[in-house]
Amino acid sequence: MARAKMGGSAGWHGNYVESATASFSLAPGDAGRTFILKDANVTVTLPTLSDINGGYQVTLISGDASEHVLSGGASKIYAITINTSASTRVAAASTLSLSAGEIGDIMKIISDGTNWYVQCFSGASAS
């Protein structure tokens, strides 16, 4: 798994940004981090809800046009994709896929400790 640190204390939550070029699982300690997904279709697996506190947040940014996947395992994912042509909603899914993703697509992920909530800002559709 390639997860290279890309900067000092940059990022929206004061943590550094990491580059991810292979599928990986998020850990409780990844809260607040931003990951740039690139060079391949990357599947990101969310941590088990019992391992994190409510308010856990991460941001995923597409660094290429791959079809990245967010996996919640047994946890439920609720998402809205906002793009210029239409908005789509995904309810109680175990995975979220960006079809025909583009560079700059963003997934902002947060948990209340019971479910995962995702806002996708993308030119692609999420399902």
Per-residue pLDDT tens digits for 2-19: 544 444 444 444 557 999
Average pLDDT rounded to a whole number, residues 37-65: 94
Q: Which domain holds residue 35?
A: 3-126
DSSP symbols for 44-103: EEPPPGGGS-TT-EEEEEESSS---EEE-TTS-EEEEEE-SS--EEEEEESEEEEET--T
Given a contact cutoff of 8 angstroms between Cβ atoms, the answer to whether 36 and 10 are in contact is: no
Verdict on whether the full-model pTM lies above 0.85: no
Give the integer Cα–Cα distance in Å for 36 and 43: 12
Number of domains into which the chain is organized: 1
Give the integer Cα–Cα distance in Å for 60 and 98: 12
pLDDT recorded at residue 124 = 65
